[in-house]
Amino acid sequence: MLKSGLAGKNIILASGSPRRKFFLEELGLDFEIRLKPIDEHFPPELKGHEISDYLAVSKAQPFLNELRPNDVLITADTIVWLNDEALNKPSDIEDAKCMLEKLSGTEHEVISSVAITTTRKQEIVTESTRVKFKELNPEEIDFYVENYKPFDKAGSYGIQEWIGYIGIERIDGSYFNVMGFPVQKFYERIRNL
């Protein structure tokens, strides 16, 4: 359905995330993946969705001078927001375990932003989902980190993995957003491109 509406457009996904790739495939889009490294630091005064918006836009910057009129660039970022702190991807095993200890027994927000960029404009889609974790014991945290290695995931967890099955008590909002891509909002925005 989207494919016919975007006929003549060259969709570029600037993400190495297997989950984002999966979602675009499931939406029936033809696209190519292009990757460029960026510095994922952000100004310390940014809060919540301002961080994910900033990073999604920053990821588009290296491509701006090479976009052609029929190109549609998709960049995205997801953060976990807990007690006024952004939990991004963990740097190592200890960092991953520390993040999960912080999330244990708490409610947090998962915020994803997607920048849709063409030569004429840039639009940002942002989604926030509230997630409540049960109290995780140290053995559960160790087992998850050592077996699932969540080093490419904001907040050190994937809702679609073991920790999500046993640890998440409830969510309020989009499940797919917690996986890292606000599919429904993205669909609505890109179909009107």
Query: Where in the sequence numbering do the catalytic residues fall?
Result: 77
The residues, any chain, with a CB within 8 Å of residue 97's CB and separated by 6 or more, are 141, 142, 145, 156
Q: What is the radius of gyration, based on Cα positions, of the chain?
A: 17
Q: In this structure, what token pair is assigned to residue 158?
A: 């994937």
Residue type, 83: N
Given a contact cutoff of 8 angstroms between Cβ atoms, the answer to whether 74 and 14 are in contact is: yes
Residue 146: how many other CB atoms lie within 10 Å: 11
Is the four-CA dihedral 159, 47, 59, 87 of positive or negative sign? negative
Q: How far apart are CA 81 and CA 107, in angstroms?
A: 10
